[in-house]
Amino acid sequence: MTNRIEGKGFYWKQDNGIETIEYYPTVMFSNFVELTRFGGELSWCAPTDYIKISDDKYIYSRVEAEFSGTMTTYVLDPNRAEQVGMRLGFNETDTLEYYVFRGRGEWVGQIAQFEPFGDLGTALPGRGAAPAPAASQAPAPAKGARQVYRPMKTNPIMTRAEVDTAVAQTKTIFAPTSAMAGNKGPISTFLKGKDLTLRYDNGQAYNYRFDDVQKLRWRPDGAGDTAWKEERYESWESAPGVIMFGHLLGGAKDHDAFSIVMDVDNALVTCLHGTMGTPYIGNEAAVKTQFGVIEMAGLTPPKYRRHTFTDELVGRAMTWNYSPGTTSANGTFSPGLTSMHLYSTPHSLSWIIFLNNGAGGMEWSGPASYVKIRDELYLAYWLEEACNGTLGTILVNMRTMRNCGVDYSAGPKGLRLGAVGAHSRHAGRYNVVKYFTPKGA
């Protein structure tokens, strides 16, 4: 076993024409993008073995657990960017697929490793002496077995009716303490006392009255005085004149929630409109991105300019520390709640949980999008789809290296809308944007 290729990434083209991007960001999982089979829209994660033959030859082997179950195994030469291997499993038509292949590729980059110098990754949880997995990970497997992230086994699947019953009983709105918000910034007072309208290009518009720092009223634009609804909200000023806030829409049939970024200096707004329930799972969130303008005294909203989707984050890896670290009585330091994001494609995001020695451990991926608010300021969301159903929304400030945001989820304990806040470290970048650029663009 080895960590010598942890952090590397490659573009591969097999001799049968199949093209992939494959990231190796942890010692036990990999992240792969099917450019030809599925168009490169999303990335997926799979438990993976990395075995050292020599300093320039390695064995890579993954099994697409929780998905097709397909196994892909190859020997790779990172210097020559060459591979030879085999694939065994069932394809999208449930037909047995077995073939051997050769491939050539391109090295797309190396992101940081965080285990101590001298740690060569020769042991993993369940495979002899190894650092214990972090508390948030699945139990260690039997000795010799791969550790598999099976989120559908650990999160109950609910119907729409069950969700409605649970939400009617309990709503937790911006709880005073949360592990995801231990490093959040101060609550902003910017909106207190303001009246404004947020008008979106899809035809929706909402009037707001911010009665206090954490209390607002909203209504559909032009509705009568009886239409006002009061909600609890939280807001943060990520950069001067840029406010992010979130709230529920009381009475909405899908338990709707808004995560809103207002760029007041430019009179622009972007809203991530979350709803609860998909055609597959009742307690799985869905989201739509809405662009629009701010109408408020003293502002002149632009006619045509809007925030826009961006690929400027694609390929980046960023670590996030959500809760402060602690030191035990015997001097052992615990880093708190920490993970790493890999912005793997323009439409997906991967999250990585570290092992206790700092190496990358468990990894999963979900749909995402990225909106540019200003230079070095980006609004991102990710959906923990086919996982725990959570919608996470964050405003990433690359100049201060911190975020603010909102997470939105439902389960047997009801509906939760909570704050997110973390400090960040940049962990490197894969040069992959060109692979997602439409041909001829």
Model pLDDT for residues 376-401, shown as the tens digit of each residue: 999 999 999 988 999 999 999 999 99
Q: How far apart are CA 50 and CA 59, in angstroms?
A: 6
Q: How far apart are CA 384 and CA 286, in angstroms?
A: 10
Percent of the chain with pLDDT over 90: 83
pLDDT band of 135, cuts 50, 70, 90: very low
Residues belonging to the chain? 441
Averaged pLDDT, 33-43: 95
Q: Is domain 1-130 annotated with CATH 2.40.128.20?
A: yes
- Local structure of residue 18 (DSSP, 8 states): -
SS3 of 226, please?
helix
- What is the secondary structure of 180-212 as a DSSP string? GGTT--PPP-TTTT-EEEEEETTS-EEEEEEEE
Whole-number Cα distances in Å, 277 to 157, 188, 253, 411:
11, 31, 10, 11
pTM: predicted TM-score of the whole model, two decimal places: 0.94
Averaged pLDDT, 245-260: 97
Place of tokens 């049968």: 16
- Local structure of residue 386 (DSSP, 8 states): T
Q: Do residues 329 and 349 make contact, with C-beta atoms less than 8 angstroms apart?
A: no
Mean pLDDT of the chain: 93
Averaged pLDDT, 174-189: 92
pLDDT band of 440, cuts 50, 70, 90: low
User: Would you say residue 284 has pLDDT above 60?
Assistant: yes
Averaged pLDDT, 195-223: 97
Region(s) of the chain under CATH 2.40.128.20 = 1-130
